Amino acid sequence: MTLILASGSASRAALLTGAGISFTKIPADLDEDAIKDDGLARGMSPKAIALKLAEAKALHVSARNPGLVLGGDQVLQLEKDLISKSHTLDDARDLLKRMSGKTHYLHGGLALAEGGHVVWSTVESAEMHVRRLSDDYIDGYLDRAGDKILSSVGCYQLEGEGVHLFEAIRGDYFTVLGLSLFPLLAQLRHMRIVPA
């Protein structure tokens, strides 16, 4: 059976490739902010919104393509707010100042859909403790990272220099990278998509 990744995320694709899983990539073209806003208006928890986003991506692509479709998305919860991607380096600077010395949560939703129906879903969370960051450090970090950092909701990539922002992380490393591999692999083995 063909596995389709309903995401344009380079890190999700790299994780699947690294795990030896063959797939094709068909990014879901959805208004993610509208889905988040609807979830917030309905009083959904951040975890539920992450799951809703993943399911929406999987369903969107599954309705148009045969095969098993993997949808994934992350939301960043800082205090009571859901944080969206920064559009400019000034926005990134403001976010990093706000996160400095605080704990935030990454909630990663995953869903598998087939024939326009969700056949499996899960949500995993990681607790991220940001160390106190000086203004000079933030400025230097953003100078070195450049605009590419805007592709990450928290303005960091743990597999790169972003690791320096943290004093501790609780949770699965793959969840932080955007694809909770352990529950996904268990499900793919269960479905006989990958060898057991």
Q: Are 96 and 165 in contact (CB under 8 A)?
A: yes
In a domain, 195, yes or no: no
In a domain, 80, yes or no: yes
pLDDT at 172: 92
Residue pLDDT, tens place only, 19-50:
999 999 999 999 998 999 999 999 999 999 99
Indicate if the pLDDT at residue 192 is higher than 90. Answer: yes
- Mean pLDDT, range 67-92, rounded to an integer: 95
pLDDT band at 189 (very low <50, low <70, confident <90, very high): very high
| Dihedral angle, C-alpha 49, 54, 55, 58, nearest 10 ° | 160
Sign (positive/negative) of CA torsion 182, 37, 41, 60?
negative
In a domain, 170, yes or no: yes
In a domain, 61, yes or no: yes
pLDDT at 1: 73
Residue pLDDT, tens place only, 101-131:
999 999 999 999 999 999 999 999 999 999 9
Domain holding 81, by residue range, is 3-190
pLDDT at 169: 97
Taking the C-alpha atoms of residue 116 and residue 39, their distance in angstroms, rounded to an integer, is: 21
In a domain, 196, yes or no: no
- So which residues are the catalytic ones? 73
pLDDT at 138: 98
pLDDT at 69: 98
pLDDT at 19: 96
Indicate if the pLDDT at residue 159 is higher than 90. Answer: no
pLDDT at 109: 97
In a domain, 136, yes or no: yes
Indicate if the pLDDT at residue 2 is higher than 90. Answer: no
Indicate if the pLDDT at residue 84 is higher than 90. Answer: no
**CATH number of the domain encompassing residue 138:** 3.90.950.10
Q: Are 182 and 194 in contact (CB under 8 A)?
A: no
pLDDT band at 9 (very low <50, low <70, confident <90, very high): confident
Question: Residue 34 corresponds to which tokens in the numbers above?
Answer: 């509208």
In a domain, 172, yes or no: yes
Domains identified in the chain, total number:
1
pLDDT at 150: 93
Higher-pLDDT residue of 96 and 11 is 96
Question: Residue 35 corresponds to which tokens in the numbers above?
Answer: 């889905």
